[in-house]
Amino acid sequence: MPHRIYFVTETEFADPLQHYSNQEFVLEFEDAAQVLKLWRNPHLGRSSREGAVLSIASKNAVAVENIMQKIMNTPLTATEEERLVNEMKLLRFIGERILPDVLERVNRNELQTIEDILKYIQELLKEIKFEGSVDLQNLAEKLNQLKDIVDIEITDAFGRKKRISRESVMDLLGKILGRYLVKQISVAPLDEVHKRPRGTIRLKETYRSAILSSQTIPPTKVKQEDIMRVKKDRRSLVYLIVDMSQSMRKTVFEGGMSRLDGALLTSLSLYYYFKTLNRRKRKRYDMFKLAVVPIRKNPNVVDTDKDMEQLLLTAEARGKTYMIQSVLAAIEHAKQQHKDKDIDVQFTIVTDGMPNMPSYPFSYSTNKELKKYFDDIDTNTKSDTIECLLQLNGIFTSLKQDRSRNWNVSYFLMGPESLRNKEIYIHTKRMLKGITRPILVDPAQVKNLGEQILKESILYA
Amino acid sequence: MLKEELAEIVVIYENAREDFKTLVGESPENYRVLIFLNPDMHVSVNRVIEVTGTPQAILTSEQITNLRASRLNDFLPTSKETVYNSLPTLIYLSVPSYELTKEQEFTVRVMLIHAFAHALMNEKTESNSPKVLAQLYQLDVILKELMTNNVFQLNKVSKDKHVWAWQYFQDLIGVIRLFTEAGVEDFYTPPETARKYTLFNNFSIEAINLIGERAKTARKKHLHDIIDEGFAHYIQQKAIDYLLKTDEYKFPKRHEDRSLIYPNELKAFLAPPIGVFSQVAMNKLLSKYKDEKKMFEKLFSYKSDIEFLEEFSWDEIKDLLAVNKNAHSEYVIDHWHSVRSRWSDIWSVYAYGWRQIEEYVSKIFRKKYSAFGQLLDENPSISSKGYVRVDDKKVYVFEANDYGVGIDQLVILHNHMSLYRDDFKTILPAFADIIVFKKVGGIHVATLFAVHKSKYKSLSPYHLPVITRAVQVTKRKDAYKFDLDEEKEETFAIRNIDYTHLRKLTQPQRGAISYLIKEGLFEL
């Protein structure tokens, strides 16, 4: 037989252990809501914890099988051999003694948090101290893989599974949702503006200027002086004022998430949207700053990662709509920031009802015309609510007149299209007369809320 | 450039062929040698053969993940040549280091001779084993191509990118292969008429047919491992003796017993129990027939291991196993392992190897098994245990053994079944909800997979509201007596559960099933 030598490349003979799937993780808004739910409530997700135990077990079983083969088939140095034997003993010990016990505890709902796991590991180490044959130090390290159990399992749109630790949930969700928004809407339309390290070029203006200077269409060339550089960007403070009253508990039509979940995730995505955006720019200061103000009894302004995490974990839909109080808190916060005049303040209010807790004492003047309107009509609306609307109108009007800052208000009302004929919409519209107009948001479309807020209020206000 | 670098190996290769001709009198002609420059690739191929039986078979994503994890931890065996005993024989080698020392040269030479022995056996034998393996190889290549093309096409024709498709098809083939091999009859094949509706249907019909053919072929394969290994190890031993006699290679001797210290890389050929046992069995055969030529003729004429083993009485074989296991236990630790390791730690590994051989030999000797299918039937990778009827739906129960399905595959299986419903738009009915018993490491678990109806259209088959619950199967009395929520018990009372269609289950298994049904089916 003639002997021939061929060369085969790796494209022709691919590694059988290669993962083929695309590595980018795509999380849908509904999935994010699910993750949020699991994160907020460690009681849920038992099955994912059970799955985690099994996957640790099966990974270990494969490892043990291979180590045995390796000990028999591969020449080893003394240290290598020692390592393998130790690993094998530990893995076997974990597989045969520890994991069955862990599974049972997970079944019983006894291992739910990282503290539970740590406590369990410590107890275990105390118990098996006298068994001798296992290396305790190594075992303790190995047992740390049990922490995976309390991680949250997320599945992306393409079915790829990933486990994330509880601490990194917010960051991961925020980054995914924020980046998604960035992809949908860039701060300025791309066809007009080029961001460069040395400044921003507005293409349209440049083009127009070139036409004017060369007097031909299209312009023969673009001169240096045609290129328009944008003046310094203005600072913007954005306050997302989010309703957390009882009514937000309602389930959104799609996917079993509540209005609150939708609102929280929208807040998170906007928060990260500006975070990523700010990071991309080479600026001395952040162009946009977003703070979330929950509408609840004692509203606080949430503008740090830690507060945000706290808000996501603890927010509940309960009680009345303390909108006036939240708006006042936001105003106070805004007034403390940056004393210079050249600043925009954007209030974006997301609510599914009308405010119903007036604030006293109230120092702004109320609009007589609006008061007359409410006095004249025959309505079921409670007097508290009317008082609130009057107060809110007073606050907004005085903001509009305030020249110390450039105040903007946008108002999103969550509800179906049929709301347009209802008192809630008519009153709100009347209240906002001369300030802005309410924008109706379909709760079923809550996943697009972030996009809508960006488009209709913050960027093109 | 590569040709020059590999020149040294080509010289060794030619020497090895010469050696083989002198030792055996003839040389094999029908084989291929694949030398990997990247040793990781060789390890991968080796593992794939170990796990699935052929080098081109599709692994499930879980198997890949677990093997990759093992590779990261450096747990995978290396440095063994891999021989796939088909016709032509496929020989996989990692390329040795750039400049070969005398020791390495010797190793490669012995490795090649060992491989040639396999190749010669595959050419000469009257068993169907090499031909069947060749067919399996071909089928696996076709399946792989089929899968690749379909994933490509599916992504091309559809608007949304089906990134999940690769993994899904991989797992699908893995699971159907397992079920078909084990002959689980509840399996469903879509009708021929479904072919024209979607690419997916067409693919599954093709794949299922091919896998069916593969299973049928695999079952017919003669059991031939002991003869293969025995012949190769016999020739290999002859080669070692022959090469050492020529004075070309000199190895130091051990202080204590004046035995030779062989090159480290030969460990894979000299240490494992299968080589030791099959070689002594060959020697015993030689002492029976006295003449080597005649023994070779005999070896080539055996169709399967049982014919070879039947040359001896059961007592003789038992002796052969016991005596050599004993001798091996004293020898192998001293010769191939560090003095720092404890005897019991290392020997437990070899003892495991011996136990596997003992089980195999005694099983085929007692039951006179000659084909792979008979062995499969004895201990199927997966078997059906009937079903539980919960109201109007069936929950099927399976038991998978150690080397059977993985968890991920179960999910696929499960998702596959959920395609039956209107949630996902590929008509490929398979199973209803399932419960699977499986030993994972040291835990014997029962796992339930059930699907709820989803309100919106699924993006992928992985993307369904699945309940997955797992519970340990134990004999303990208080097991399964966990507190059920009052609310759940209420719902439970309404359900009508019928356990009468289950068969061959132990009491703990029944306990686990009822726990899973109570707990799992009502979680969402």
The answer to whether A159 contacts B167, with C-beta atoms less than 8 Å apart, is yes
The answer to whether A4 faces chain B, any CB pair under 8 Å, is no
A75 vs B47, B264, B443: nearest CB: B264
What CA–CA distance (Å, rounded) separates B321 from B319? Answer: 5
Confidence of residue B454 (pLDDT cuts 50, 70, 90): low
Q: Which residues contact residue B373 at a Cβ distance below 8 angstroms, ignoring those fewer than 6 apart?
A: B218, B219, B220, B221
What CA–CA distance (Å, rounded) separates B495 from B326? Answer: 59
Note the pLDDT tens digit of each residue in A152-177.
888 776 667 788 888 888 888 888 88
pLDDT score of B429 = 39
The answer to whether A63 contacts B70, with C-beta atoms less than 8 Å apart, is yes
The answer to whether B44 contacts A57, with C-beta atoms less than 8 Å apart, is no
Token readout for B445 is 């678990």
Among A22, A66, A138, A163, most B C-beta atoms within 10 A, so best to mutate, is A66
Chain A nearest-CA residue for B144: A16
Confidence of residue A337 (pLDDT cuts 50, 70, 90): confident
Note the pLDDT tens digit of each residue in B178-228.
878 887 755 556 677 777 777 777 888 888 889 989 999 999 999 999 999
What CA–CA distance (Å, rounded) separates A364 from A400? Answer: 13
Q: Which residue has the tokens 């017993």?
A: B257
Mean pLDDT, rounded, for A406-412:
87
A51 vs B44, B64, B468: nearest CB: B468
pLDDT score of B413 = 60
pLDDT score of A133 = 62
What CA–CA distance (Å, rounded) separates A20 from B365? Answer: 44
Residue B524 has pLDDT above 50, yes or no: no
Mean pLDDT, rounded, for B272-286:
93
Choice among A380-384, B9-13, B358-362, B462-466 with the minimum mean pLDDT: B462-466
Q: Closest approach of chain B CAs to the CA of A105, in angstroms?
A: 10
Give bridge partners of residue B436 from the DSSP assignment.
B398, B447
Chain B nearest-CA residue for A61: B441
Among residues B306, B439, B442, which one has the least CA distance to residue B366? B306
Q: Which residues contact residue B429 at a Cβ distance below 8 angstroms, ignoring those fewer than 6 apart?
A: B188, B190, B417, B419, B420
Token readout for A280 is 């991309």
* Amino acid sitting at position B400: A
Residue B457 has pLDDT above 60, yes or no: no
Chain A nearest-CA residue for B345: A85
B350 vs A58, A72, A92: nearest CB: A72
Cis ω on the peptide bond leading into residue A218 (within 30° of 0)? yes
Chain A nearest-CA residue for B459: A157
Percent of chain A at pLDDT exceeding 70: 82
Q: Which residue has the higher pLDDT, A55 or B122?
A: B122
The answer to whether B349 contacts A68, with C-beta atoms less than 8 Å apart, is yes
Q: Which residues contact residue A408 at a Cβ distance below 8 angstroms, ignoring those fewer than 6 apart?
A: A344, A345, A346, A347, A436, A457, A461
Among residues B50, B219, B90, B211, which one has the least CA distance to residue B139? B211
Cβ pairs bridging A and B (under 8 Å): 223
Is the CB of residue B387 less than 8 Å from the CB of residue B396? Answer: yes
What CA–CA distance (Å, rounded) separates B151 from A20? Answer: 11
Note the pLDDT tens digit of each residue in A82-112.
899 988 988 988 888 888 888 888 888 888 8
Token readout for B149 is 């093309």
CB-count burial class (<10 Å; 0-12, 13-18, 19+) for B40: middle
Give bridge partners of residue B89 from the DSSP assignment.
B31
Note the pLDDT tens digit of each residue in B44-76.
899 899 888 899 888 887 788 888 888 888 899
Q: Closest approach of chain A CAs to the CA of B165, in angstroms?
A: 8
Mean pLDDT, rounded, for B279-283:
93
Q: Closest approach of chain B CAs to the CA of A258, in angstroms?
A: 15
| Chain B residues touching A73 at Cβ < 8 A | 77, 79-80, 267-268, 271-272
Among A49, A55, A73, A83, most B C-beta atoms within 10 A, so best to mutate, is A73
Among residues A308, A318, A398, A321, which one has the least CA distance to residue A300? A308
Among residues A273, A278, A418, which one has the least CA distance to residue A348? A273
B164 vs A92, A158, A255: nearest CB: A158
**Mean pLDDT of the residues in chain A:** 80
The answer to whether A254 faces chain B, any CB pair under 8 Å, is yes
Residue B489 has pLDDT above 50, yes or no: no
B460 vs A67, A72, A159: nearest CB: A159
B463 vs A20, A87, A159: nearest CB: A159
Residue B426 has pLDDT above 50, yes or no: no
Residue B410 has pLDDT above 70, yes or no: no
Confidence of residue B432 (pLDDT cuts 50, 70, 90): low
Q: Which residues contact residue B441 at a Cβ distance below 8 angstroms, ignoring those fewer than 6 apart?
A: A57, A58, A60, A61, A64, A92, A95, A96, A99
Confidence of residue B483 (pLDDT cuts 50, 70, 90): low
Residue B424 has pLDDT above 50, yes or no: no
A66 vs B70, B79, B469: nearest CB: B70
Q: Which residue has the higher pLDDT, A3 or A219?
A: A3
Q: Closest approach of chain A CAs to the CA of B290, in angstroms?
A: 32
Which of A241-250, A349-358, B316-325 ranks highest by mean pLDDT? Answer: B316-325
The answer to whether B352 contacts A68, with C-beta atoms less than 8 Å apart, is yes
Which of A118-122, A253-257, B5-9, B516-520 ranks highest by mean pLDDT? Answer: A118-122
The answer to whether A459 faces chain B, any CB pair under 8 Å, is no
Percent of chain B at pLDDT exceeding 70: 83
Cis ω on the peptide bond leading into residue B272 (within 30° of 0)? no
Choice among A100-104, A376-380, A420-424 with the minimum mean pLDDT: A376-380
Residue B418 has pLDDT above 70, yes or no: no
What CA–CA distance (Å, rounded) separates B427 from B420? Answer: 6
Residue B458's CB is within 10 A of a number of other CB atoms, namely 18
Percent of chain A at pLDDT exceeding 90: 8
Q: Which of the 8 DSSP states describes residue B476?
A: -
B469 vs A1, A50, A77: nearest CB: A50
What CA–CA distance (Å, rounded) separates B128 from B113? Answer: 23
What CA–CA distance (Å, rounded) separates A203 from A193? Answer: 6
Q: Map residue A11 onto helix, strand or coil.
A: coil
| Chain B residues touching A28 at Cβ < 8 A | 459
**Mean pLDDT of the residues in chain B:** 82
What CA–CA distance (Å, rounded) separates A287 from A267? Answer: 18
Q: What residues 51-110 of chain A have any CB closer than 8 A to a CB of chain B?
A: 51, 53-55, 57-64, 66-78, 81-82, 84-85, 87-89, 92, 95-97, 99-100, 103-104, 107-108
Question: H/E element holding B466?
Answer: strand B466-472
Note the pLDDT tens digit of each residue in B439-451.
887 788 888 877 6
Token readout for A414 is 């969550």
Confidence of residue B471 (pLDDT cuts 50, 70, 90): confident
pLDDT score of B488 = 46
Residue A201 has pLDDT above 80, yes or no: no
Mean pLDDT, rounded, for A408-427:
88
Token readout for B216 is 């049928």
B468 vs A16, A19, A47: nearest CB: A47
Provide DSSP, B185-197.
TT-----GGGGGT
| Chain A residues touching B164 at Cβ < 8 A | 21, 158-160
What CA–CA distance (Å, rounded) separates B141 from B54? Answer: 10
Q: Map residue A311 onto helix, strand or coil.
A: helix
What CA–CA distance (Å, rounded) separates A281 from A259? Answer: 33
Is the CB of residue B178 less than 8 Å from the CB of residue B409? Answer: yes
Residue A356 has pLDDT above 50, yes or no: yes
Is the CB of residue B458 less than 8 Å from the CB of residue B511? Answer: no
Token readout for B455 is 């309100």
Q: Which residue has the higher pLDDT, B330 or B325?
A: B325
Sign of CA dihedral A249, A252, A257, A263: negative
The answer to whether A107 contacts B34, with C-beta atoms less than 8 Å apart, is no
What CA–CA distance (Å, rounded) separates A441 from B418? Answer: 35
Token readout for A63 is 């490892």
Residue B427 has pLDDT above 80, yes or no: no
What CA–CA distance (Å, rounded) separates B30 from B89? Answer: 7
pLDDT score of A189 = 41
Confidence of residue A231 (pLDDT cuts 50, 70, 90): very low
Q: Which residue has the higher pLDDT, B114 or A458?
A: B114
Residue A20 has pLDDT above 80, yes or no: no
* Amino acid sitting at position A345: V
What CA–CA distance (Å, rounded) separates B252 from B382? Answer: 51
Q: What is the ipTM of this complex?
A: 0.88
Chain B nearest-CA residue for A34: B465
Q: Which residue has the tokens 């299973």?
A: B215
Q: Map residue B32 onto helix, strand or coil.
A: strand
What chain A holds in terms of domains, given with CATH numbers, is 46-152 (no CATH), 197-231 (no CATH), 233-459 (3.40.50.410)
